[in-house]
Amino acid sequence: MKPKAIILRGTGTNCDIETFNSFKYVGAEPELVHINQLLSGERRVLDYDLMAFPGGFSYGDDISAGKIYAVKMNKLSADFGAFIKDKRPVIGICNGFQILVKTGFLPENKGNAQLSTLYANDCGHFLAKWEKVRINKKSPCIFTKGLPEEIELPIAHGEGKFIVEDKKVMADLVARELHALTYAENPNGSMLDIAGITNSSGTCFGLMPHPERNFFAWQNPDRPAAAREAVSAGYHFFKNAVDYVI
């Protein structure tokens, strides 16, 4: 039986179809679900094996990116918390990472307090370009297992600067190798070049770059001509999650 993946969306989400197709290609049975369907009881988070928060601009990024979506999620925090506690894979991409941060699920803490944020890029404007990122081989993150030390992924965000005010929180992230992904050349001013973080079990992962946009080699403008039909780095993020569940 194929693992069931819930692809969560809301007003302004715009990477849901790509995320849906990525999970479908690697053997999952994905379903697009609006946050309102959870709030109404039409769908239930715990009926799924994997979860994804795609990129986009949920609720127009009003107040701050991902904040309104996070407020809606707080009404279902028990189910979301149980999903993560069960070590079912969760990935938040770009706006999805912003949502996970603002719900307090990342960085991991007992009270689900918001310990960090993703703030406006140092350059003061939206960035959309390809970036080289480094995989932390010591990280427990299940999504990055088996990837080479450096890969290339596109970014597309205006609020991607990862900030942690409490030095102890950052020290703990680093000590436990939870900074799973870092920029080779920091494009947005993120502390310690952080591009993505995970929880201690490695099953809840948030990142600003878009793995679904470098799923096939042809999506990369600098691809080798011979690699046109091959899968690329982003494929492995989704395949690893499905393999973990199976």
With CA atoms as reference, report the closest residue to 152 among 116, 187, 199.
187
What is the reported pLDDT for 219? Answer: 92
Which of 244, 160, 204 lies closest to 51 in space, CA to CA? 204
> How confident is the model at residue 96, as a pLDDT?
98
Q: Where along the chain do its domains lie?
A: 4-245
- Select which of 15, 18, 94, 159 is catalytic: 94
Tokens, residue 21: 């197709």
Catalytic residue chosen out of the listed positions 18, 108, 131, 212: 212
Q: What is the pTM of this model?
A: 0.97
- Residue 228: the pLDDT is 67
DSSP, res 205:
E
Which class is 4-245 in CATH? alpha beta
DSSP letter (8 states) at residue 172: H
Q: pLDDT, tens digit, for every residue of 184-216?
A: 999 999 999 999 999 999 999 999 999 999 999
pLDDT digits (tens, 9 = 90+) for 32-82: 999 999 999 999 999 999 999 999 999 999 899 999 999 999 999 999 999
What is the structure's pLDDT at 209? 98
- 94 tagged catalytic: yes
In DSSP terms, which residues pair with 167 in a beta bridge?
none
What ranges in 146-210 are assigned the alpha helix state H? 167-175
Residue whose pair of structure tokens reads 């127009």 in the numeric block = 60
Do residues 103 and 67 lie in contact, with contact meaning Cβ atoms separated by under 8 Å? no
Compute the half-sphere exposure of residue 201: CA atoms within 13 Å on the CB side of its CA: 15
Residue 212 catalytic? yes
How far is 39 from 130, CA to CA, in rounded Å? 36
Catalytic residue among 15, 179, 204, 210: 210
Contact 130, 153 (CB under 8 A): yes
pLDDT digits (tens, 9 = 90+) for 69-110: 999 999 999 999 999 999 999 999 999 999 999 999 999 999
CA-to-CA separations, 9 to 16, 31, 219, 241, in angstroms, rounded: 7, 11, 24, 19
**Distance, CA of 97 to CA of 108 (rounded, Å):** 13
DSSP 227: G
pLDDT digits (tens, 9 = 90+) for 127-170: 999 999 999 999 999 999 999 999 999 999 999 999 999 999 99
Beta-bridged to residue 196, according to DSSP, are: 181, 207
With b meaning 16 or more CB within 10 Å and e meaning fewer, what string describes 146-155?
ebeeebbbbb
